[in-house]
Amino acid sequence: MRIPLALLLALAPPVPLAPADLDSAVADHMEVTGVPGLAYAVVGPDRIEHEGYEGVDGEGTPVDADTPFLWGSVAKPVTATAALLLEDQGRLDLDAPVDTYLPEFASFGADPTVRDLLYQTSGITLGIGTEVSDHYGTDAPSLEDRVAQIAASEPGEPGTHEYSSANYLVAGAVMERVTGDFAGFLRDEVLAPAGMDSALTGSEEARRAGLVPGHRLWWGTPVADATGVDDSGAAYGYLGGTLADLAAFARMQLEEDPPLLDAPSLARAREGAVPVPGSAQEYGLGWRETVLSGTEETVFFHGGAVPGYVALLVVLPERERAVVVLQNAYSMLADMHFQALGLNLARLVAGADTRGPVGAAPYGAAVWGATGVVAVVGAVTLWPGRGRRLAALRAVVGAAAVAAAMLLLSAAGPRPALLWLPDVAVAAVAAGALGAVAAVRAAVTLARRP
């Protein structure tokens, strides 16, 4: 008779932690990625079993236990927990249509429930999520204006998972309407009871906590120039805090008697409910469920990033442990480059081998490819001579460069492209500008010569 793997794991003693192996994986990761600073922990149901702080923050100060980070979309399972708590209090019905709480959302071309928002099956698209997220400062559109913009957008495929931060922005607006102050409710009834004592929910708290700029990549070099905090973004990505804060949320997933809800409710929230297209994952209430590669173990996780910061939380229920990693550099095209560390630490916790640091191949190809295009277009544009063949070449190269730049900037949007991919976007703009000059020179030459 075959004994199920889960039963064998439950009967076997937990794999002892090897701090030296964990620290070695971190050192390898920092060498490969060049990330300036990070904090990491392995968490058990009672305490942090191992933690480490490496490198410096955006001002050159050594990272330590008091260093705050932004968590990106790791905010989503926290937001889903808040929704479950409101449901438990009888104040929110997850299966009610969104327009029950936000009548202005009735104009949306689908009829999602609050649960659909949390599962990301509402029909709200990735594209509109890109438009309404990551706005900073006094000129940022209000939460109400963003909800109206989402409601006026074209739905995708309701019932199918499409990851979009706009889902959680609307969920935050629902809870704002229910509580009258979602950020206050989050602080007082979720973060504080969970032991997330120095977690931050907005720009003023970030200032008081001493949050400094995170690093974006400029031609592979981390530059501390990412300063924004979206004051309407706590629900989808702009929560933050220290390693201990996020470790407390991780620990709550492992406790027999958690401070919020109960262990079965938290476990049900983590369970995958809808398939994630194109992957082996399923999405739950703010969590992803999958089998950790290199093992046979089911894990629940969520990663997240905002410009300049990236985070990952992995729960390994069969080991009664979780892994938390916070880093202060990011590029969208190098996402797996940064997230590899958390997955490798999870493999070590599971008693498996690491997969080795991941190179940033998509990022390198994009930024150096775009830079190469700038060089070629520049050479063709500035090359001396006015012959018809050269003019024809300038016309073709110039038109192609302008078209490519317009395609990139229109696909991502100029603001998100410059925010998330600054070097690629600048190279694309430069190539497009040189291409326009080349096209004009070609037109002048061809017009003057019969």
| pLDDT over threshold 80, residue 389 | yes
Q: Which amino acid is residue 401, in one-letter code?
A: A
Structure token digits, residue 376 = 């070629």
Q: Are 364 and 372 in contact (CB under 8 A)?
A: no
At residue 391 the predicted structure's pLDDT band, cuts being 50, 70 and 90, is confident
| pLDDT over threshold 90, residue 443 | no
Structure token digits, residue 379 = 């050479």
Q: What percent of the chain has pLDDT over 90?
A: 77
Secondary structure letter of residue 120 according to DSSP:
T
For residue 356, the model assigns a pLDDT of: 66
For residue 246, the model assigns a pLDDT of: 98
Q: What percent of the chain has pLDDT over 70?
A: 95
For residue 2, the model assigns a pLDDT of: 44
pTM above 0.95, yes or no: no
| 29-43 mean pLDDT | 96
At residue 8 the predicted structure's pLDDT band, cuts being 50, 70 and 90, is very low
At residue 449 the predicted structure's pLDDT band, cuts being 50, 70 and 90, is low
The stretches of 329-421 forming alpha helices (DSSP H) are 335-349, 361-382, 388-412, 414-420
Residue scoring higher pLDDT (360 or 70) = 70
Q: What is the C-alpha radius of gyration for the chain, rounded to an integer number of angstroms?
A: 24
For residue 9, the model assigns a pLDDT of: 44
At residue 412 the predicted structure's pLDDT band, cuts being 50, 70 and 90, is confident
| pLDDT over threshold 70, residue 450 | no
CA-nearest of 42, 67, 19 to 251 is: 42
Three-state DSSP at 136 gives: coil
Q: Measured between alpha carbons, how far is 88 from 93 in angstroms, rounded to an integer?
A: 9
3-state secondary structure 336-353: HHHHHHHHHHHHHHCCCC
| pLDDT tens for each residue of 203-257 | 999 999 999 999 999 999 999 999 999 999 999 999 999 999 999 999 999 999 9
Number of Cβ within 10 Å of residue 353's Cβ equals 12
| 296-301 mean pLDDT | 96
Range ranked top by mean pLDDT from 76-80, 356-360, 423-427, 432-436: 76-80
